Amino acid sequence: MSMKEKMHTGELYLPNDEEIMNEQLQRLERLYDFNATRPLEQEKRTALLKEMFAEIGEGCYIEPPFHSNFGGGHVHFGKNIYANFNLTLVDDTHIYVGDYTMFGPNVTVATAGHPILPELRSQGYQYNAPVHIGKNCWIGTGAIIVPGITIGDNVVIGAGSVVTKDIPSNVVAVGVPCEILRKVNEHDREYYFKDRKIVWSED
């Protein structure tokens, strides 16, 4: 099995492999082009994202600067996903994000890890584990999601949280490490922020 194949199996591999690095550099060239676009070049940004990502649905918007080890080459976005400034996707293996999910500024989603054993780290070994984020989630400012995590649908991850274990659907989770604070409930259908009531349209 080649080093490139091991990127997606969870096995230890060497990321400085020539085949991997050549592909990575080509993808980073496209990422550079994306980050160099001007604010009025929205169509160009959309076209570049379709080239860069493994999959990306309609209506997605990523605010530059965007950072990604493989320029989104292992990222699978659904539709209508929004990412604010400085989204970092360490996409050494696959990252899956469901429709209508939002990322606050400075969020990091990492798939790459390194062995705890110093002898292996000194040789440059790495392993990867995919990350799955469900539909209609809100990942708050500065949150960090570590390798191998699955987050369900309709989840809110609080600002600054470090997600080190799986989070089920329909909950608010916060903290370091990230823990479930509560379920999404009927109160959330009445109030959108503190004592501010939702006025539902009758249309």
**Domain-by-domain residue ranges, the chain?**
3-197
Distance between CA 173 and CA 201 in Å, rounded?
A: 29
Q: How many CB atoms lie within 10 A of CB 138?
A: 17
pLDDT digits (tens, 9 = 90+) for 56-111: 999 999 999 999 999 999 999 999 999 999 999 999 999 999 999 999 999 999 99
Q: Which of 8, 67, 76, 114 is catalytic?
A: 114
Please give the share of the chain, as a percent, with pLDDT higher than 70: 100
Distance between CA 190 and CA 202 in Å, rounded?
A: 15
Whether 132 sits among the annotated catalytic residues: the reply is no
Q: How many CB atoms lie within 10 A of CB 14?
A: 12
- CA dist list (Å): 138 to 53, 111, 157: 21, 19, 6
CATH no. for 3-197: 2.160.10.10
Binning pLDDT at 50, 70 and 90, where does residue 203 land? low
